[in-house]
Amino acid sequence: MRMTTRTRFRIGAAAAIATLACVTQVRAEGGLTIEERVQRLERRAEMPPPATAPAPDVSGLQSRLDALEAAIKKPPFGLTIGGMIVGSYLYDLNDPQEGNKGTVGNRVFDKDHNTFSLDLFQLQISRAPGENGVGFVTKLNFGKVAERMASDWDGDGTIGNVAEEQNSIELEEAYITYNPPGLPDLQIKGGKFVTLLGAEVIESPLNPNISRSLAFGFAIPFTHTGLLTSYAFSPQFKATLGVVNGWDNVIDSNDGKSVTGSFAFTPVDQFSIALNGIYGAEQPNHGDSKRGVADVVATIKPVDNLTLLLNYDYGNETDLGPARDTTAEWSAFSGIVSYDLPDALVMPIGFALRGEYFDDSKSSRFGGTFGEDQNTWEVAGTFKLVLAEGLMARTEYRYDKAKNPVFLRNVGGVQKDQQTVAAELSYVF
């Protein structure tokens, strides 16, 4: 019996529809079954597949799929990769006009008036000490923060006169760590690293406030290059001692070295205190001049989500001035109160308030007329909103007041006070 063309078409269409229906039930995204996707991932990750089962176990396949995807995303060699992106806007109510956008006085990083700024893109690659006890940390910064925390790379005692010091790229840290076998509490660190001193850090999102304190900007260094040895005598007490080139220099600018150290004590989770210091020659080609700083940082957490951060610095430097016969002193005290409200709104919020006083006896730290007694106080209030994991928006109001006029005015000249408002968006990954 011959089939007509129409009959053959109907039978073929019916077969195609039946076949498509059967395949659709077992096909996953991309035209592959879950089993085929897992096998492909296992081949990609160079992992042997488990013994085949007579029937696919969907829940087991999903577990295998999740484990494989996590393994593929994990960086090789035990590396940890992270970083952050930080952008901000700053407005000085004095509306200073000098320079491109005007300069905000007595600040180290947030200095540009009435402009959006790419403050920081940081890329961090590190590895914790492995079985051989060796690890490392690197942090590479791009943006305005990188430009303004630049180190002396050629040892001439100045910053900004060679290519490495003029661009907006700076290697914040690059050091090797070594824990000798059998001595896990002893660590040796060599390379370039951030200072032991201070209550705040270079990266703004890791601080309670957007702006840094006067103490962080003018009383202490940012980074060192040298060697550190630390030993944890117990979970509560750790001591660190090292020798470095000096303040913010990769190549030393004189024939002397500086000694730095720290004693950190944490008797309970709610309280910790660190005594830090540095002493040595810091003037270019003048090893007889000595600079020393004693730094105390106390952290108090009386209740959940409430933190009180106290910081005191005292500094002293000899053989300054044209005749190298002047000794300058400076001191600073700051207090920061921060409180987080993780469940107050749909999104977590928080507040931070900082107050501070800085005394610069000879204007050796703020600049200006050398020998003139200068002091400044400031107060800053910050509000934060956590938009998503790692994503944070903050706003800040800050008021600065100086004994002698240093802050630029809109109509020219300088005045004694300054008000700024700032907004910041950051993502830490």
DSSP letters spanning 243-299: EES-SSBSS-SSS--EEEEEEEEEEETTEEEEEEEEEE--BTTBTT--EEEEEEEEE
- pLDDT at residue 60, rounded to an integer: 73
**50 lies in the same domain as 103:** no
Chosen domain end from 38, 70, 102 = 70
Give yes or no: residues 94 and 66 share one domain. Answer: no
| Residues in CB range of 52: below 8 A, 6 or more apart | none
How far, in Å, CA of 34 to CA of 61, rounded? Answer: 7
**Domain containing residue 54:** 5-70
- 357 and 221 part of one domain: yes
Q: What is the pLDDT of residue 1?
A: 46
Please tell me whether residues 310 and 191 are part of one structural domain: yes
Contact 275, 262 (CB under 8 A): yes
Query: Does residue 159 belong to any structural domain of this protein?
Result: yes
Assess if residue 76 is contained within a domain.
Answer: no
Same domain? For 248 and 364 the reply is: yes
Co-location of 66 and 107 in the same domain: no
- From the list 236, 299, 290, the residue with the least C-alpha distance to 259 is 290
Give pLDDT, residue 161.
73
Beta bridge partners of 194: 223
347 falls within a domain: yes
75 assigned to some structural domain: no
* Whether residue 419 sits in one domain with residue 306: yes
Task: Verify that 42 and 109 share a domain, yes or no.
Answer: no
Contact 426, 117 (CB under 8 A): no
The answer to the question of residue 406 being in a domain is: yes
SS3 category, 395: strand
pTM above 0.85, yes or no: no
Distance (Å, rounded) from C-alpha 99 to C-alpha 94?
A: 14
Beta carbons of 413 and 97 less than 8 angstroms apart: no
The pLDDT value given to residue 25: 40
Residue 39, pLDDT score: 64
Per-residue model confidence (pLDDT) at position 323 = 84
Which pLDDT score is estimated for 32? Answer: 61
Q: How far is CA 360 from the centre of its chain?
A: 28
Same domain, 181 and 87: yes
Domain count, the chain: 2
Same domain, 30 and 131: no
- Which residues are CB-contacts of 329 (< 8 A; sequence separation ≥ 6)? 314, 315, 316, 361, 362
CATH of the domain at 148: 2.40.160.10
pLDDT in tens, the chain (429 residues): 445 544 454 544 444 444 434 433 433 444 566 666 666 655 655 444 455 545 555 567 777 777 777 776 677 788 999 999 999 999 999 999 866 578 899 999 999 999 999 999 999 999 999 889 999 999 999 999 999 999 999 888 888 777 677 789 999 999 999 999 999 999 999 999 999 999 999 999 999 999 999 999 999 999 999 999 999 999 999 999 999 999 999 999 998 999 999 999 999 999 999 999 999 999 988 888 999 999 999 999 999 999 999 999 999 999 998 888 899 999 999 999 999 999 988 999 999 999 999 999 999 999 888 889 999 999 999 999 999 999 999 999 999 999 999 999 988 889 999 999 999 999 999
pLDDT at position 35, please? 64
Question: Are both 170 and 201 inside the same structural domain?
Answer: yes
Distance CA 380, CA 397 (A): 6
Quote the pLDDT of residue 43. 60
118 and 150 inside one domain: yes
